[in-house]
Structure 1
Amino acid sequence: MPGTGRLIALVGPSGAGKDTLLAGLARACPEVHIARRTISRPASAETEPFESVVPAQFAALRAGGAFALHWEAHGLCYGLRHRELAALMTGGTVIFNGSRAALPRIAARHPALEVIVVTVSPGILASRLAARGREDADEIAGRLARADFALPAGLTARTVSNDGRPEEGIARLADLLQPVRA
């Protein structure tokens, strides 16, 4: 479903604040559709709103063609249902919290895919990961080691620094979407 709109993948390390930026973007730029993901993990009030399914449900949905896009990362399955990309058909903008490993496959289906990388300094990232309380010290060290990454070949990206207050990062992200807001 390529359409005439803009498809934007927001990527970055866990703890960089992608969900916070997207929630703020929804308030700052209501004309931008924030795609709701289907994820094979239990629902949690601590993360973005998503459709929670068990792995078997996800596999059945995927086999039935329910997803316009799907990928796996960190032992979980992620998908965007077709309705989440519908705005592309009418020239709208859709942004989603994506996985850098899935970018080549997504770009193959959507050649005009835009990528925005959320960056955060290592010290702040370590503090955020520790504050979440979901990982032990070894798991946090592993996440920090994976935080700095190169984009897959053939893709370019713009960056948003998210070291400061959430409002600052949200404003930076909204500025990157300025052509949509004009």
Structure 2
Amino acid sequence: MSAQGRLFAVVGPSGAGKDTLLEAACRARPDLVRARRVITRPSGAGGEAFDGVDEAAFDACLKAGRLAIHWRAHGLRYGIRASIDADLSAGRDVLFNGSRAALEQAAARYPGLRVLLITAPAEVLMQRLSARGRENADQIAARLERAAQGIPPGLPVHEIDNSGTVDAGVKRLLAALQPERA
């Protein structure tokens, strides 16, 4: 029987490069499971691969217990499917792009939750958000304002500076995934 897998919440401000690092880390380590998010926006909206649903479908997922973790941010609803429980039970490490606002809920359900906080300076965040072209100036300003939100106390947090190259950020992320030594 394999050991229980570990759950990693990858969080940080918009534009910090969470999706970029997650994608590259999973390419480098195919044994990792990246939880696909359920989001109340059209699937063709760009960015990460996700399951786009409307409000009614999201509510149905919640009611049926198909979401392990869920939250609201930026006028949207986000969820992580409860199917991650099978991956964790099978000994696979699971990473999900989460929200700092959902960490307490996630830690209550998954006491071994580990937090990877992806950071970058405000000017880097501004450049990245402007370049992706999904938000207007007011929306970018709101995302930058939210960037200062902290992590709830008591959770194990590993901060990863992603202000440099993708390769450097991925190396830092992969290093943070190494098992703790006794």
> Where does residue 57 of structure 1 map in the other structure?
57
Identity of aligned residues (%): 50
> Where does residue 153 of structure 2 map in the other structure?
153
Q: 1:66, 1:34 → 2: CA distance?
A: 17
TM-score by length of 1: 0.91
Equivalences for residues 1-182 of structure 1 within 5 A: 4-44=4-44, 46-179=46-179
- The secondary structure found in structure 2 opposite 1:179 is coil
Tell me the CA shift for residue 53 of structure 1: 0.6
Tell me the CA shift for residue 39 of structure 1: 1.0
Q: 1:31, 1:150 → 2: CA distance?
A: 30
What is the identity, as a one-letter code, of the residue corresponding to 1:105?
A: Q
User: After TM superposition, where is structure 1 displaced by more than 4 Å over at least 4 residues in a row?
Assistant: none
What is the identity, as a one-letter code, of the residue corresponding to 2:22?
A: L
Structure 2: give runs of 5+ residues left out of the alignment.
none
> Which is worse superposed, 107-116 or 77-86?
77-86
C-alpha spacing 1:179/1:155, structure 2 compared with 1 (3 Å): closer
Structure 1: give runs of 5+ residues left out of the alignment.
none
Q: Is the 8 A contact 1:17 1:162 kept in 2?
A: yes
Tell me the CA shift for residue 136 of structure 1: 2.5
- The secondary structure found in structure 1 opposite 2:4 is coil
Q: Is the 8 A contact 2:15 2:129 kept in 1?
A: yes
- The secondary structure found in structure 1 opposite 2:106 is helix
TM-score by length of 2: 0.91
Tell me the CA shift for residue 135 of structure 1: 2.2
Q: Is the 8 A contact 1:117 1:160 kept in 2?
A: yes
| RMSD (Å) for aligned C-alpha atoms | 1.7
